[in-house]
Amino acid sequence: MPQTTFRIASFNVENLFARPKVFNFRDKSMGAALLKRIGDFNKILKQSTYSENDKVKLVQAFNVGDPGNGEAPLKGFIQIREDRGKLWKKSNRVITGVSAGGRGDWDGGIEFLKAKFSEVGRENTGKVVRSVKADVACIVEADNRPTLQGFDTHVLNSKYRYEMLIDGNDRRGIDVGLYSRFPLGNIRTHMFDGTSRSRTFSRDCPEYEVFLPNGESLHVLCNHLKSKGYDYGGPADARRKKQAQAIANILNGYNLKKDWVVVAGDMNDTPKSAALKPLMDVADLHDVLELQYPNDPNKRWTYHYKSFEQIDYVLVSKPLKDKFVKAGVQRKGMYDLKNLTASDNAIDNETQYSSVTHWTNAASDHGVVWADFNL
């Protein structure tokens, strides 16, 4: 019997596959503080000349931290890759000082150390993905294509014949990829947009063409916009707004009244935010959760830190809006869901999977946005 509908989804899997240790905190502010320290450390590394004071700061931050202020040494979270020349002076493999006189004396950079993932958490992520049963899914914070392949084979029971991920700009190695039951066509990257010193996208905004069973081409733009939590290159809101405008500019290459286009992913901001306004104001682009819940924003939340917020999206062009059937958010992989939802009378009470017993084995701290369409 021919397939009559298909489902699109977007899921931030929270980099469960090989999560950087710096993200492995229940309290997000702790990770944000660490990332700021790493950013300050990196600014010194980039200097053309290291003063004696700079060298002391580098060794202190990396080896010791600031115990008096509860700051752990950075060596527990990052390592320095030395490709040419030497940054460090070492004695019996212990860092004792800085050998380089400045950035020109060595090549390399910061690499984030990975935390061991929970096998229970990995299975919970798989349980969420299997339950959603998407035909096409934007996967946010995936490590690489082999990881997507392996996860599909070993956890998803080989549900997806096609997967794609292009390594983007994030130096931590967390990127945006795609699972699809249908064949892929043209693929275009935007990781090089901007300048060599300032890339527009923190990761990428890849355009994936998917050949649907009805002969239509579905164009999927996967995204993970600048986080609110930390920033290396200027105000985060301004960077996110620039990225939202860049996506809007890419959409100018389509006819949203005729082409089947999806913009999906973690936008790290709410629908009415100033940062997302350039994207949310694009004509003939529609939020599936608003289509499903036009008068009840409380049902659209996908993430909770200090409040219930929608920061994950599936936005669709007019032809898909005309084929829209229904949409929703799958949140059962989130930790403490029962207590979270019981604490707010405006939010429907929900319960997580019984296997989600701690934040370390949650599927993700994001819900999955999904939407069905007629073919």
In DSSP terms, 317 is beta-bridged to 285
pLDDT of residue 233: 43
For the segment 116-150, what is each residue's pLDDT rounded down to a tens digit?
556 788 899 999 999 999 999 999 999 889 889 98
Between CA 303 and CA 311, with CA 307 as vertex, the angle to 5 degrees is 35
pLDDT tens profile 347-375: 999 999 999 998 888 999 999 999 999 99
| Chain centroid to CA 199 | 17
**How far, in Å, CA of 220 to CA of 208, rounded?**
5
What's domain 5-18+117-374's superfamily in CATH? Endonuclease/exonuclease/phosphatase (3.60.10.10)
Q: Where are the beta strands (DSSP E) in 86-232?
A: 88-91, 94-98, 107-112, 136-142, 162-165, 175-180, 184-188, 207-211, 217-224
User: Is the predicted pLDDT of residue 299 greater than 50, yes or no?
Assistant: yes
Confidence of residue 71 (pLDDT cuts 50, 70, 90): confident
Domain spans in the chain, listed from the N-terminal domain onward: 5-18+117-374, 28-112
Reported as a pLDDT band with limits 50, 70 and 90, residue 109 is confident
For residue 32, give the H/E element and its range. helix 28-45
Amino acid 1: pLDDT: 66
pLDDT for the residue 114: 72
**Mind listing the pLDDT tens digit for each residue in 202-231?**
899 999 999 999 999 999 999 999 988 655
Residue 353: left (phi > 0), alpha (psi -120 to 50), or beta?
beta
How much is the pLDDT for 190? 97
Asked if 19 and 117 touch (Cβ cutoff 8 Å), the reply is yes
Rounded to a whole number, what is the distance in angstroms from the first to the last CA of the chain? Answer: 13
DSSP-derived letter for residue 283 is T
